[in-house]
């Protein structure tokens, strides 16, 4: 038995469905109880894009390359990035083959593993990488003597190897043993292999909650949105006929990010030739001004929901006649990943050209970052991922952009991104700026607070769902019943810091904001500067920068 393109495609669909069906179980294996991008969701979203092929019948070489490219662009989070690189490596190994036998598959697994390892600067054993590597090593070795022409036998063997190695992740990473779980990414990879094997055994995994994206797009009914107790007055809808410059799917992420920031109930369809959007906002004019950058407007509808007007007349012709202005070419451009209106504004004030909406709980895809870079006019574009789980995806995006230099700074949080931008010198060359920005990143300490999403035991701390976690540079430092108590524990000695910025989140209690400001102000040296900003970020009530 050999694997042709059609069979490989169906194996990947089965694997994608298996991931989607098990994403919650994979999420629950995350050791750290902080709200995160969620491994299961990231891996599922990364793989789900293979369904867009809508069937395939051709060589395995062509199929593997098409799928690898799709997965690479949709990759989210570190686990999704590693998975996408694994399949890219497989595609390279399967190049020029019409069909693949067991030995070909083994070599492809080996090359996929090497590709995934190359992307991680300091690989940690006991993770998805370990499970991948053991499977690849065993596949290459076993196909020297067995499973010739028996692809089903090979995958049956590999699933057993993967499950055994997954169980061993507890021994390799003590934190997993302490929490009595296995590695979430490794579990996801085992799920992929099982999905592929199920198809080979003529038992393809079906999606438990199948969603036909094409039908959903066609049937979108904007009238279903509630107009009771509305926060935003105007229901704004329009269709944009894309100009030649913006043709292609997912070319308008900046517009999507913008409408998410100024309203709610957003529906956004970014097709090959058109954009269809709906948003509830208090500034419909701003939406249309932003939309016209991508082409000509049609079918504009604005309803004042508070006054129950059925429709407001808008002079469409004036908008159509507005001149579309494209940003001038310049030496440097900037892209930042962040969430929260106040944080977004801070990055804009510091010169960031384009914001990618994302962070904890919402990791953007590779394509999201590519789109933002493409819309940035600099010959050199600096990208600030501002999250450790987005860094790998940003690096992948940088490799896929070929018409400009893209530099991804290793910013793991918002304060590091801001510090890097403040150190930028427009008169210096790129290398000097990279050095100064990386130095600025190293000088920042980030304190943050959030609520535990599950019971856990980490670093000797007994954590209960709903308790407040204090993190120092993304590592759990303390646990407390309230946010103020948590920050009090973390910030006993603050005299060494001269500059402090407090970003408080959208759900932060106003009394807590006052107490935290007073507390820190009393602990800093007399000549220290402390700034309070309404960051508007979700999930984290406080993100505090100390320098």
C-alpha–C-alpha distance, residues 487 and 469, integer Å: 9
The tens digit of pLDDT for each residue in 149-169 reads 899 999 999 999 999 999 999
**Higher confidence at residue 326 or residue 65?**
65
Which of 28-37, 137-146, 343-352 has the lowest average pLDDT? 28-37
Phi, psi of 538 (to 5 degrees): -80, 165
Q: Is residue 486 part of a domain?
A: yes
**CATH number of the domain where residue 298 is located:** 3.30.70
The tens digit of pLDDT for each residue in 451-463 reads 887 787 777 788 8
Percentage of the chain beyond pLDDT 90 is 48
pLDDT at 241: 86
Q: Is residue 167 part of a domain?
A: yes
**Higher confidence at residue 287 or residue 411?**
411
The tens digit of pLDDT for each residue in 471-524 reads 998 888 889 999 999 999 988 877 678 889 999 998 899 999 999 999 998 888
Query: Do 193 and 159 touch, CB atoms closer than 8 A?
Result: yes
Q: Do 419 and 530 share a domain, yes or no?
A: no
Q: Do 164 and 188 share a domain, yes or no?
A: yes
DSSP 273-334: SEEEEEEEES-HHHHHHHHGGGEEEEEEEEEETTTT-S-B---HHHHHHSPP-PPPPEEEEE
Q: Is residue 222 part of a domain?
A: no
Q: Do 451 and 437 share a domain, yes or no?
A: no
Using the 3D structure, point to which of 296, 321, 346 is the last residue of a domain.
321
Percentage of the chain beyond pLDDT 70 is 88
The tens digit of pLDDT for each residue in 492-502 reads 877 678 889 99
Q: Do 437 and 534 share a domain, yes or no?
A: no
| Angle, CA of 178, 180 and 182, to the nearest 5° | 110
Using the 3D structure, point to which of 321, 348, 379 is the last residue of a domain.
321
The count of domains in the chain is 4
Q: Do 396 and 483 share a domain, yes or no?
A: no
**CATH number of the domain where residue 402 is located:** 3.40.50.510
Q: Is residue 18 part of a domain?
A: yes
pLDDT at 105: 96
Distances (CA, A) of 191 to 12, 166, 311: 11, 11, 50
C-alpha–C-alpha distance, residues 482 and 98, integer Å: 61
Q: Is residue 215 part of a domain?
A: no
Q: How many CA atoms lie within 13 A of 228 on its CB side?
A: 2
Q: Do 487 and 525 share a domain, yes or no?
A: yes
Q: Do 94 and 79 share a domain, yes or no?
A: yes
Residue 427 DSSP label:
T
Q: Is residue 209 part of a domain?
A: no
Q: Do 428 and 456 share a domain, yes or no?
A: no
Q: Which stretches within 426-493 are classed as H helix?
A: 430-442, 483-490
Q: Do 420 and 478 share a domain, yes or no?
A: no
Q: Is residue 524 part of a domain?
A: yes
Q: Do 392 and 489 share a domain, yes or no?
A: no
Q: Do 317 and 343 share a domain, yes or no?
A: no
Q: Is residue 357 part of a domain?
A: yes
**Higher confidence at residue 420 or residue 238?**
420
* Domain residue limits at 525: 445-546
Closest residue by Cα to residue 323 from 296, 286, 300, 302: 296
* DSSP helix/strand/coil, 420: helix
pLDDT at 209: 66
Confidence band of 230 (pLDDT split at 50, 70, 90): very low
The tens digit of pLDDT for each residue in 113-151 reads 999 988 776 788 899 999 999 999 999 999 999 998 899
pTM of this prediction exceeds 0.85: no
Q: Do 172 and 36 share a domain, yes or no?
A: yes
Using the 3D structure, point to which of 321, 342, 369 is the last residue of a domain.
321
pLDDT at 382: 97
The tens digit of pLDDT for each residue in 79-120 reads 888 999 999 999 999 999 999 999 999 999 999 999 998 877
**CATH number of the domain where residue 483 is located:** 3.30.1180
């Amino acid at each position: 038995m050999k694997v042709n393109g059609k069979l490989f495609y169906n194996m990947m669909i089965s694997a994608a469905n298996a991931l989607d069906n098990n994403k919650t179980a994979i999420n629950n294996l995350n050791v750290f109880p902080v709200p995160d991008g969620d491994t299961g969701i990231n891996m599922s979203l990364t793989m789900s894009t293979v369904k867009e092929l809508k069937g395939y019948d051709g060589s395995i070489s062509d199929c593997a390359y098409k799928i690898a490219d799709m997965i690479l662009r949709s990759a989210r989070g570190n686990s999704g990035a590693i998975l996408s690189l694994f399949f890219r490596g497989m595609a390279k190994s399967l190049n020029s083959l019409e069909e693949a036998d067991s030995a070909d598959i083994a070599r492809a697994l080996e090359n996929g593993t090497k590709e995934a390892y190359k992307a991680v600067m300091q690989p940690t054993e006991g993770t998805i990488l370990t499970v991948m590597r053991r499977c690849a090593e065993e596949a290459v070795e076993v196909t020297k003597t067995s499973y010739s022409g028996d692809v089903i036998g090979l995958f049956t063997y590999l699933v057993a190897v993967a499950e055994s190695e997954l169980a061993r992740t507890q021994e390799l990473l003590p934190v997993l043993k302490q929490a009595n779980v296995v590695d979430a990414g490794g579990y996801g990879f085992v799920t992929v292999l099982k999905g592929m094997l199920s198809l080979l055994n003529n038992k393809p995994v079906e999606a438990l909650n199948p969603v036909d994206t094409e039908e959903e797009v066609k049937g979108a009914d904007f009238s279903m949105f509630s107009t009771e107790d509305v926060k935003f007055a105007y229901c704004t809808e329009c269709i944009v006929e894309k100009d030649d410059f913006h043709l292609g799917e997912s070319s308008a992420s900046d517009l999507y990010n913008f409408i998410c920031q100024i309203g709610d109930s957003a529906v956004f369809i970014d097709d090959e030739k058109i954009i269809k959007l709906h948003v509830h906002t208090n500034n419909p004019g701003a939406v249309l001004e932003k939309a016209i950058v991508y082409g000509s407007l049609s079918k504009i509808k604005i309803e004042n929901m508070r006054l129950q007007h059925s429709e407001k007349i808008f002079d469409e012709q004036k908008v159509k006649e507005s001149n579309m202005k494209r940003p001038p070419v310049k030496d440097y451009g900037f892209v930042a990943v962040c969430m929260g209106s106040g944080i977004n504004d801070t990055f804009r004030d510091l010169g960031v050209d384009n914001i990618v909406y994302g962070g904890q709980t919402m990791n953007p895809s590779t394509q999201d970052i590519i789109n933002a870079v493409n819309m940035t006019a600099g010959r050199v574009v600096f990208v600030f991922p501002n999250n450790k789980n987005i860094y790998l995806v940003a690096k992948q995006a940088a490799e896929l952009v070929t018409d400009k230099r893209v530099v991804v700074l290793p910013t793991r949080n918002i304060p590091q991104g801001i510090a890097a931008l403040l150190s930028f010198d427009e008169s210096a060359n790129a290398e000097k700026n990279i050095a100064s920005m990386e130095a600025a990143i190293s000088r920042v300490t980030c304190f943050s607070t959030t609520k535990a999403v599950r019971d856990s035991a980490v670093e000797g701390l007994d954590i209960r769902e709903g308790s407040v976690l204090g993190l120092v540079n993304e590592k759990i430092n303390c646990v407390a019943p309230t946010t103020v108590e948590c920050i009090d524990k973390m910030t006993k000695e603050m005299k060494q810091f001269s500059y402090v910025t407090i970003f408080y989140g959208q759900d932060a209690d106003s009394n807590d904001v006052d107490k935290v400001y007073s507390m820190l102000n009393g602990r800093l040296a007399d000549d220290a500067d402390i700034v309070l900003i309404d960051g508007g970020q979700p999930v984290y009530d406080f993100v505090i920068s100390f320098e």
